[in-house]
Amino acid sequence: MIDSDSWSWIKMKYFKSDIDFNKDNLSVHFEYECVQTQAEYDKLIDYFVHRFSLKAGRPVPREEVNAKPEVGDIYKVRTFFKVTEDEELYVGLENVHKKAPHALALLLNEFNSYQAKDQLEDKLVNKTIKGLMKIIGEAD
């Protein structure tokens, strides 16, 4: 379990989550903040240069393309995944952790305090906790 005091720096970051149990799965929605890096911004510009070049039918110079968020800007990201008995935890969570380590730590804290109402729900919550802990441990 993660000690919340060791993660006190993340309390300043925006985080919101919603966990719902639906018959045979957990639906997890969470929203968090990220900071736009130079590498991510370059990929964004490359995408729009390619797209605008296709649309225009001619090469569009990089310097003619502007995109938001710019390097250093803080932006919100929404992620959704389902947890079932049969499937592995959503692989994209590894990328979430690389981009915003505070997000999965806060989500893990939400699951640690989640009160399951039946045996299947408890099993899915425990599966999610183990999966999140594995991702957090592997990525550090």
Cα separation values, 140 from 88, 106, 131, Å: 21, 15, 14
Bridge partner list, 33:
76
Cα separation values, 32 from 15, 16, 102, 136, Å: 5, 7, 9, 16
The residue to which tokens 């008995």 are assigned: 85
* Average of per-residue pLDDT values in the chain: 86
User: Hey, where are the domains in the chain?
Assistant: 4-36+73-139, 38-72
pLDDT in tens, 26-83: 999 999 998 899 999 999 999 999 999 999 999 999 999 999 999 989 899 999 999 9
pTM for the model: 0.75
